[in-house]
Chain A
Amino acid sequence: MAPPMFESRHSARASHLPHRPKRVIIASTLAVLIALLIAGLFANILVTAASTTGGTLRTDIWHLVRMTSIQAGLTTVLSIAIGIALAWALNRLRFFGRDLVIGVFAAAIVTPGIVVAFGMLSIWGRSGWINSATTYLFGESIGNLAFGLWGIIFAHLILDATFAARILLERLDAIPAARLKIGQSLGLSPWQRFTIIDWPAIRGSVPGLAAVIFLLAFTSFPIVLLLGGGPANQTLEVAIFAAVRQQFDLLGAVHLALVQILVCSLVILAAAARPPVPISTGVSTGQNWHDRGPARLLQWGVLGLGIAGFLLPLLAVIFDGVVADLADVLTRPTFWRAATTSVVIGLSSAALTLILALGLGLGRAASARRTLRLGLGLPVFAYLAVPAVVLSLGFFLSVRNLGIAPAEAAPIVVIIANALLALPFASATLGPPLEGLVQNKAKLIRSLGLNSWQQLRYIELPLLRREVGVVLALAFCFSFGDLGVIALFGTQDFQTLPLMMYRALGSYRSDDAAVIAALLLVATILAFIALPRLFERLLDARS
């Protein structure tokens, strides 16, 4: 899960804020509840681990941390580099379908990892598109490039480099027109233009973005599970899953989890002073000052490669899904049950995420005390570092230790766990504009004498309708594509589409997996694009 970074301090928060003690109380209660929940989950794992035999702690943790760091480091560096190149090209070029490409890039962050891994196999596997093409053209296969370290990194790049490109493009688009005009009149070369105008505009976003990408890659689960090729390439997250699911080594799992929390916390703290990275879904205006000559050629080249590298695997997913027996899967009751489960869980956890993010964010914005504000921000971050698999395990054991069969509690637990996992992103998107709004509208609110509810109803929700929609879409898509939480709780009776797809892959039903992958992909992108708009319109009509 990626971290929203701490937003910068408003040092002199004036006492002119509307007095909202209830908001602060609600937020504090939520924060304490989340903290207690996480502490309780850990306690349950530790208690269970202490009471079970076995638990050999044989995993070579340092080797694992080293390998995971190398993988995440390479992913981060390459993602930022490719992201900058793509943003640069997109900022300069105008072409038919540009909006669509940018829209799809924005959706990369929510594309289910299992779908991307599947697309990678279709394209880069030994009998994938690339090898079929080279065998046909040159009579030679280039082998399977989808498995192993580079397969993992490539799959991560598909998600993270495009995510970076979308964020950085926003920074480039925000460069004031006056600045561009001066640059143009000075006759800057493309390189000078990049170093003098572009780089200063994106420089500030790079550390925060790098931290997000590092954490995403460091905690990656489905991609590593599918493309890692077994024990040789693991993340801590997958190793924890293996410790629990394959060795029943709970103590080992706890140790691995603590190491992961430590590493992630260090990254979060290092990046904490940086501005947060909100998710962009808006329209890109681009610039009218075009580069010429080789630079323009290079831009087309970058864009072409980027689109091919990113879109080919996803197109392959859709193609394979359509070619496979679509009707056969669509007429199966299990498919519809899994689809319904996925949607209900997605919507529920999206609603819960919004409530939590609003509850915490409103309280935080309403409080003037620095320590309190920090305290209200912490649960969000604490959660960020906790591996999804560990969270899921904690829930599993807690429920079991209460004497309830995990299957009975599964739906509720999966909803809560997914909501908590989406919370960091939600807070990063909702927090800063909430703060800004309270600052800017404080006078208006006080002069109108609005109460807390009216303030929410008439000021905050209408003005933040876009962000609210984005939060819902993000949380829905994360939960819709989740495999880390459901992997432990899923049963034959209770499964989501990603789990159904993972199982199909594990039992020769490649065709079923292909169909589910295609539907997951299309549904995720549609939801991500449609939900914010739908919400914007809904709240617009109300106010």
Chain B
Amino acid sequence: MARAPALTTGLHPRFHDRNPGPDGPRERDDPMIKSIPLALAVLAGAATAATAQETPNLTIYTYDAFAADWGPGPQLKEGFEAQCDCIVEFIAADSSIGALRRVQLEGDTTDADLIVGLDTAIAGEARQTGLFAEHQLDLDGLSLPETWTDPTFVPFDYSHFAFVYDEDVVSEPPQSFEELIDRPESFKIAIQDPRSATPGLGLVLWIKAAYGDDAAEIWEGLAPHVLTVTSDWSESYALFLDGEADMVLSYTTSPAYHVFDEDDHSIHAAMFEEGHLAQIEVAGVLESSPNKALAREFLDYLASPGAQAVIPTTNWMFPVVDLESELDPSFSDLQQPSSTLSIAGEEITANRDAWIDEMLNALN
């Protein structure tokens, strides 16, 4: 894609991978080549599966940014493998909710033992699928905006949704949805599809929490400013970094990355007067997994200080345990919203579809 040179230099490596590991997070034989001998082996009755029993494999479906070389995936894999005598495989589905859909599609044939990267907004629906097993962990020690009581999902990070901008491009960011709507039509935002990406769903809820029955009007006002609705957060963020959009739906913590990794202090989250909605990202064990004990061990590890220390500077979200001085200073200067909005989980589960329809209709 053609990019203005000035922008290219400003790219965050997370977004502009300078040193992509050769093979991404997971490496296995090409099934194209594998499947033929495999078919032959099955015909011949050969037990190719025998070797698979030696070291258990833990397969984790997640979203793209989590599994990427620069994401938390590789370090968590290393950290957990050091204690589990197993092999961890992160598999990037199209998007966060896409990982759930993929497990639904694959049914009992799924390879996945765990899904990492859903959030509290989709958790209700995920629970209803009956695909998840309880975590059975004691999570009293966590430090979260709310007390954690969910028996199925384990939280692993949180942040507030926010629109992120570059002060060199947008000198005066809008300070509310209404101000954003009043901008000229050439002011573009990139957002995510609420059906596939948790931040996309988060925006629907955020606007609902702030405007209630007037949410549809806000969406109609936003419609001309929406450059595109991508299925995954990464794609939107790439468009923003490529200069195609003025703002992108992301998190209040996103600017930390640019400070930490590039010493770039020009990326900020716009603070909206309406207040911001928080997202808590969660992980869950699949009922169909043959390795549920191992999977629960991973969840325990994920919420432990060891794994939590990895999260802030790889996933650019707040940890769910108090890291104290270990939390990178790039997080301490972040602007935080003056007020936090929230919607009850049951209300989300009951109305999610209707609210998404409201948004889709406004954009049509």
Q: State the interface size on chain A (CB cutoff 8 A).
A: 72
Per-position binary interface string of chain B over residues 7-32, scored 1 when its CB falls under 8 Å from any chain A CB and 0 otherwise: 10000001111001011111011111
Complex contact B230–A118 (CB within 8 A): no
**Contact status A126-B2, CB under 8 Å:** no
CB distance from B267 to the nearest CB of A (A): 14
Least distance between A297 CB and chain B CB atoms (Å): 32
The residue from A118, A247, A345, A510 contacting B238, defined by CB atoms under 8 A apart: A510
The interface residues of chain B lying within 8 Å CB-to-CB of A231 are 193, 229, 360, 363-364
CA gap between A512 and B251 in the complex, in Å:
26
Q: How far is the CB of A181 from chain B (nearest CB, A)?
A: 50
Nearest-neighbour CB distance to chain A for B216, whole angstroms, equals 15
Known: A345-B32, A405-B106, A508-B16. A333 touches B357 (CB 8 A): no
Interface segment out of the listed A155-163, A425-433, A464-472, A486-494? A486-494
Q: A340 on the interface (CB 8 Å rule)?
A: yes
Q: Smallest CB–CB gap between A302 and chain B, Å?
A: 27
A 290-333 binary contact with B (CB < 8 Å = 1; else 0)? 00000000000000000000000000100010000000100111
**Residues of A392-406 contacting chain B, CB below 8 A:** 396-397, 400, 403-406
Q: Evaluate contact between B31 and A320: CB separation under 8 angstroms.
A: no
Tell whether A334 pairs with B357 under 8 Å between CB atoms, given A246-B101, A492-B92, A507-B64.
no
Inter-subunit contact B30/A337 (CB<8 Å): yes
Q: Decide if A242 touches B195 in the complex (CB within 8 Å).
A: yes
Q: Are B104 and A248 touching (Cβ within 8 A)?
A: yes
Q: Which residues of A contact B278 (CB under 8 A)?
A: none
Contact of A411 among B22, B31, B230, B235 (CB under 8 A): B31
Q: Which among B68, B111, B364 is the interface contact of A507 at CB below 8 angstroms?
A: B68
Q: Are B242 and A510 in contact (CB under 8 A)?
A: yes
**In the bound complex, do residue A506 and residue B2 qualify as a contact, i.e. CB atoms below 8 Å apart?**
no
Q: Does B35 interact with chain A (Cβ within 8 Å)?
A: yes
Query: Known contacts A127-B3, A510-B1: does B32 contact A344 (CB below 8 Å)?
Result: yes
Q: Known: A246-B196, A400-B107. Contact between A508 and B234, CB under 8 A? A: yes
Q: Which residues of B contact A128 (CB under 8 A)?
A: 2
Which chain B residues have a beta carbon within 8 Å of chain A's beta carbons?
1-4, 7, 14-17, 20, 22-26, 28-32, 35, 38, 64-65, 68, 91-92, 94-95, 97-98, 100-101, 104-107, 109-111, 128-129, 186, 188, 191, 193, 195-196, 223, 226-232, 234-235, 237-238, 241-244, 353, 357, 360-361, 363-364
Could you list 18 examples of A-B contacts with CB < 8 Å?
A242-B196, A245-B94, A245-B101, A245-B196, A246-B195, A247-B101, A320-B1, A334-B22, A341-B30, A405-B110, A408-B38, A491-B31, A492-B28, A494-B31, A505-B235, A508-B15, A508-B237, A508-B238
Residues of A whose CB lies within 8 Å of any CB of B are: 52-53, 56, 58, 60, 63, 67, 118, 121-123, 125-129, 132, 143-144, 147, 228-232, 242, 244-248, 316, 320, 328, 331-334, 337, 340-341, 344-345, 396-397, 400, 403-412, 488, 491-494, 503, 505-514
